[in-house]
Structure 1
Amino acid sequence: MPGRTNFSRIPLRPAALSWLLTSALMGCGGPELEQSAEAPKAVQSFALSYPDGASKTVTSRRVVYKDASGTYRSAPGFEAFRAVGAADGDLYPVRISEVDVPSVRNALVVMSAGQKISSSGHTSGLTGQASNWDASCGDVSCPNVTLDGRSLAMKLRALGWLPPATTWMAVVNDNNFDHLSDSGTKQQLLDGFVRWLEEQVRPETRTIYLAGSSRGGCLVMRMAQALRNNPSLDGIDLYVSSFDGVCKYTQGELGTFGTKINNPVRPWGTAYGGWATDLSAQFPRKGRLHIFHIAGGEEVAPLTGIRAFSAYSGTPPSTGTGLDWGWYKQTWVQWKHKEIGNPYTEPSSSNQPRVISETLDAQLTWLDSFL
């Protein structure tokens, strides 16, 4: 291995909710309604540190595009999305960069950024895309998208645990798996992502790694549900990294419901926490399954109830703890939602090393223990 060192909510009209989401992602979100009377507990990072990778320029393609006459067409290699019945209007915003496409595929890797809210893009610590990644997008593709070498994707690629020569890797720049979409639309998009990934499996494939932040975290968790329930994939190890994954509790996504489990290390005066889910019931088939969820639980936008999920066993506790069930691990962090998803751009310079250690490098340390 490479050298390393230790170290009750008010319903909002859709227009108002959209404005709040945009404001939050632009850094204008207000304080949460509830206030904690407890001081935050100390947090220690036991993550190893890992070197940055090299930046890489890729082309992000639409899964359906518009030809010269404005007619929607399936992009080559992405026919699975249309095949499951997803609407072209929902698929057109979905853009994916295939980073490595070898013929031999011992491993498959998919990483997804979070929800794109504003008219511009957003930086992602997982995929490495910059805030203006979509500036070059046309009706067919987005050429010259640069993936930052500090990102999870590029760091993992450089480590060589899953060598690029035998690992198919794709990053989802925009999944359009939006929080406000209805359950039917989400299910069709989910089915498309699952079928598309299943089409990449080869006889030699033994490892699948999924990672996502925010809404991307919910997407990869739900993809993992479908993949683990496919008996034909039982011989494949499935690893999942969720960075403050956000599922819509009013739709019961990932089994979430309206009981909040408080973050035990939440900053003073905040109400950070996660919507409870009996996650063991969501994954009845746990063979070769490994999940690591990093939870902060800051409300993504004030008054919306949009926050990460939190697993529990038995009865939901009022305040959470770290979890390690063998197949599932969960740790709590004190960082804001955007800091967890973008640890090399959002935190203050003084906090940045610690945030990176407790997010990106924590996930790599966990993955290192298996690979």
Structure 2
Amino acid sequence: MHLPPPSEHTMVRTERVARRVFSRLNLALLLTGALAGCGGPMEPAPSALEPEGAQDVQAQALTYPSGSSQTVVSRRVVFRNGSGAYQAAAGFEHFRAAGAFDIALHNIRIAEVDAPATREALVLMSAGQKISSSGHSSGVTGQASNWDASCDSVSCPNVSLDGRSLAMKLRALGLFPSGKTYLSVVNDANFDHLFDSDTKQRIVNGFSNWLQAQVRPETRAIYLAGSSRGGCLMMRMAQALRANTALDGIDIYVSSFDGVCRNSQGELGTFDSKINNPVRPWGTFYGAWATNLTAQFPRRDRLHIFHVVGGQEVAPATGIRAFSGYAGSTPPSTGTNLDWGWYKQTWVKWQHKEIGNPYTDPSASDQAQAVAETVDAHLTWLDARLP
């Protein structure tokens, strides 16, 4: 009997299943080999002082290889023309149309890494807020701390994206169809924590309207990822996208790396109730501002969110820290890991900057574990949920 050749979708799915099986088998062989290869007794169980949540993440996260580094051009969504006047960049007109001030929009810089005509999936990743003149690195987008050294009034040529980043790992893995996935990284969203609520909403509208313009009839998935303020931006974009009934046939996936929303503004529904981090290092006060995420996302069909939270105060005595969901009618004093199907949350012991930059900021001895509990944990989660 002659069988027809497998479809492209079937081949992609088969490769993904094979990769999952191989990764798990490889992990099992490594573990059993380590135990069988030494003649002494098995190691004792981890100390009770080791964070339980961290053990859970380590046990579940697979290890993913780095991708290739990529050099891209990051464009300002609003630039200064030869006369010094502000002008909307081609393809980014939605930002200015949303009404935020040009001086704020001028600092938003986006690199379109892959922009194929056919777009079965859209991927958008954002770094956190720039807080110094030296730029800011990101383990999500892959940019280095000096990424903006080449910027002029129009664009930033020669921005290098690290192969160890979430963006480049995902691109190499092919979890979304190769050649049919639109990928952009936001090197600077200028989604300033201290902006007033109206300005923030206009920036969210600009991002959401622009991304929706990338949707094609064949689009079936949107993946948003961001750290710190970029995580809050991606969560707010997910709210806007899921509220649009025209996108009901599209799955929306969101990865938040210690996403930071301003509780004094009620941003993302956060309020002044701190949930303590159950795996915080001894002597620290890590915790996150509570938010009722079920109320924030009333439409949850085809919505998938994973939030890795540490809750370290971003700057001392500022109250700037990540958000946390909670179960029940009132927030607990100390949090727990959550998994509601559509929303998953895992607490980790890492500092805020270590969550956003896990392969550079932790000590050399901690980097592998930090990557496993952040970048690779998100890839494991995403891989398991894709059809």
TM-score, normalised by the number of residues in structure 2: 0.87
On the 8 A contact 1:40/1:266 being kept in 2, the answer is no
Structure 1 counterpart of 2:31:
none
Q: What is the rounded CA distance, in whole Å, between the counterparts of 2:263 and 2:27 in structure 1?
A: 37
Report the Cα distance in structure 1 between the residues aligned to 2:317 and 2:174, rounded to whole angstroms.
44
Which of 43, 59, 74 aligns to 2:88? It is 74
- Are 1:363 and 2:363 matched, yes or no? no
Separation of aligned partners in 1, 2:198 and 2:78: 19
The answer on whether the counterparts of 2:243 and 2:299 sit within 8 Å (CA) in structure 1 is: yes
Alpha carbons 1:40, 1:267 under 8 Å: kept: no
Instruction: Return the alpha-carbon distance in structure 1 between the equivalents of residues 99 and 268 of structure 2.
Output: 22
Q: Deviations over 1:148-196 (max 9, x none)?
A: 0000000000001113400000000000001011111111101000000
Distance 1:6 1:257 in 2: 41
1:309 equivalent among 323, 326, 332: 323
Q: Which residue of 2 aligns with 1:215?
A: 229
Structure having the larger proportion of residues in helix: 2
Alignment check: 8 A CA contact 1:214 1:308 kept = yes
Higher relative contact order (CA 8 A, sep 6+): 1
What are the superposed Cα offsets for residues 240-269 of structure 1, whole Å, 9 maximum, x if unpaired? Answer: 000000000000000000000000000000
Is 1:294 the counterpart of 2:311? The answer is: no
1:27-48 CA distances to partner (integer Å, 9 max, x unpaired)? xxxxxxxxxxx96633311200
Query: Match for residue 23 of structure 1?
Result: none
- Render the CA deviation track for 1:42-88: whole Å, top value 9, x for unaligned: 33112000000000100000001001110111101000001111211
- Tell me, yes or no, if the aligned pair for 2:120 and 2:177 is still in contact at 8 Å: no
**Contact 2:125-2:226 at 8 Å conserved across structures:** yes
Query: Structure 2: how far apart are the matches of 1:271 and 1:204?
Result: 47
1:87-98 to 2 correspondence within 5 Å?
A: 87-98=101-112
Q: Which amino acid aligns with 2:212?
A: E
Distance in 2, matches of 1:41 and 1:140, equals 47
User: Residue 40 of structure 1 contacts residue 268 of structure 1 at CA under 8 Å; is this kept in 2?
Assistant: no
CA distance in 2, matches of 1:81, 1:292: 27
Amino acid at match of 1:188: R
* TM superposition shift of 1:120: 1.6
1:292–1:328 Cα contact (<8 Å) kept: yes
Q: Aligned partners of 1:298 and 1:39: how far apart in 2?
A: 19
| Structure 1 residue matching 2:204: 3-state secondary structure | helix
Counterpart for residue 339 of structure 2: 324
Q: Which amino acid aligns with 1:156?
A: L
In the alignment, residue 183 of structure 2 is paired with which amino acid?
M
For 1:83 and 1:164, the matched residues in 2 are separated by: 32
2:218 maps to 204
Alignment of 1:1-371 (within 5 A): 1=16, 2=19, 3-4=22-23, 5-6=26-27, 41-42=51-52, 43-44=54-55, 45=58, 46-313=60-327, 314-371=329-386
CA–CA separation in structure 2 for the residues paired with 1:203 and 1:156: 23
Report % sequence identity: 69
Instruction: Please say which structure displays the higher CA radius of gyration.
Output: 2
Unaligned runs of 5+ in 2: 1-15, 29-47
> Taking structure 1 as reference, are residues 39 and 301 closer, same or farther at Cα in structure 2, changes over 3 Å only?
farther
Q: Distance in 2 between matches of 1:341 and 1:100?
A: 23
TM-score, length-scaled by structure 1: 0.90
* Superposed structure 1 runs of 4+ greater than 6 Å apart: none
Secondary structure (helix, strand or coil) at the match of 1:128 reads coil
Aligned equivalents of 1:339 and 1:41: distance in 2? 16
Give the residue type in structure 2 aligned to 1:76: A
Counterpart in the other structure of 2:7: none
- Aligned residue in 1 for 2:41: none
- The one-letter code matched in structure 2 to 1:320 is G
CA deviations over 1:85-135 (Å, ceiling 9, x no partner): 121111000000000000000000000000001012111000000010000
| SS of alignment partner, residue 286 of structure 1 | coil
SS, match of residue 221 in structure 1: helix
Q: 1 CA distance for matches of 2:269 and 2:178?
A: 35
2: distance between equivalents of 1:231 and 1:120? Answer: 42
Q: Distance in 2 between matches of 1:325 and 1:62?
A: 38
Matching residue's letter, 2:64: Y
Q: Which amino acid aligns with 2:51?
A: K
Look up the SS of the partner of 1:369 in the other structure. Answer: helix
Alpha-carbon distance in structure 2 between the residues aligned to 1:197 and 1:111? 12
What is the root-mean-square deviation in Å for CA atoms of aligned residues?
Answer: 1.2
Amino acid at match of 1:343: P
Letter of the 1:237 counterpart? D
Alpha-carbon distance change, 138 to 223 in structure 1, aligned in 2, over 3 angstroms: same
Distance 2:174 2:353 in 1: 28
Structure 1, unpaired ranges of 5+ = 8-37
Question: Take 2:108 and 2:202, find their aligned partners in 1: how far apart are those partners?
Answer: 13
Secondary structure of the equivalent of 2:73? strand
Q: Which residue of 1 aligns with 2:42?
A: none
Amino acid across the alignment from 1:312: Y
Cα distance in 1 between the residues matched to 2:282 and 2:178: 44
Letter in 2 for 1:229: A
Structure 2 residue matching 1:228: 3-state secondary structure:
helix
